[in-house]
Amino acid sequence: MKKQRQLFPFVLILCMPCGKVFLAATKLLLSFTKQFFYFYRMKKILLASLLLSINFFTFCQNKKSTDIIPLVIKDSLPKYAKNKVIPSFKILIGVSKKDAAGKMDSTWFSNENLPNNRPIVIIYFSPECSHCVHEMKEIEKKMDSLKNAFFVFASYHPLDSIKNFEIKYNISSYPNIAMGRDTKYFLPVYYDVKYTPFMAVYDTHKNFAKAYDQGANMHELIQLVNAKPAEIVIEKKSKKKHNPK
């Protein structure tokens, strides 16, 4: 027993280098394992990125530019700028009782009722819009200079509201004005109306001449409706290309 106790320090001294080597080897193995998993994850990410890039490149090669550009140009132009003639429309201008049974009779005004050989001015308005009221007053003031044109006032508001506006500004006294309700909400979609009053002017041949997004300057409008068709410079909308979203 005494000899074993004497040998223990020597055994301990001999085992110390082996313990240090084992500890160092363990640390090295852990470090290698961490690096292995790190590079393994990076490899998967790089491989996925490479596959996505190849698929996108292949898609771009197969997709011709002509498949995209016409759609962009088409969407950038409202219908009235592409179709130069007055569209087919119909507005409700009156409702009255037809017989004793109380059956209602509706009166309509359409593009087929427009007079020939006269400039046509189509105005989309709101009876509650202060700018529309101002535009109506300006047209009234300059009617002597605008009598050569025929005006169509259309709104989506209830017919009663439109009729009150008509009475207030004595529209019935002007034979060159038709006012009514666009029951199908056709005109604001066709003209891409964003603000009221919107105004589209056509020459005596019923070809598109100019559009006013927020009302017209009366001096310019008077010159436009009294000009000969050959003197009218047709407004051209620029074809802006928008990045597809």
Q: How far apart (Å, rounded) are the C-alpha atoms in residues 203 and 49?
A: 59
Q: Does the pLDDT value for residue 174 go beyond 90?
A: yes
Give the domain 76-231 fold: Glutaredoxin (3.40.30)
| More confident position, 171 or 39 | 171
Stated pTM of the model: 0.62
Q: How far apart (Å, rounded) are the C-alpha atoms in residues 207 and 117?
A: 11
- Return the SS3 of 237: coil
| More confident position, 189 or 8 | 189
- Are 215 and 125 in contact, with CB atoms under 8 Å apart? no
Arithmetic mean of pLDDT, 122-151: 94
Residues of the chain above pLDDT 90, percent:
50
**Which sequence spans correspond to the domains of the chain?**
1-63, 76-231
pLDDT, tens digit, 9 for 90 and up, residues 29-45: 566 555 655 555 665 66
Q: How far apart (Å, rounded) are the C-alpha atoms in residues 87 and 145?
A: 26
Q: What is the pLDDT of residue 65?
A: 42
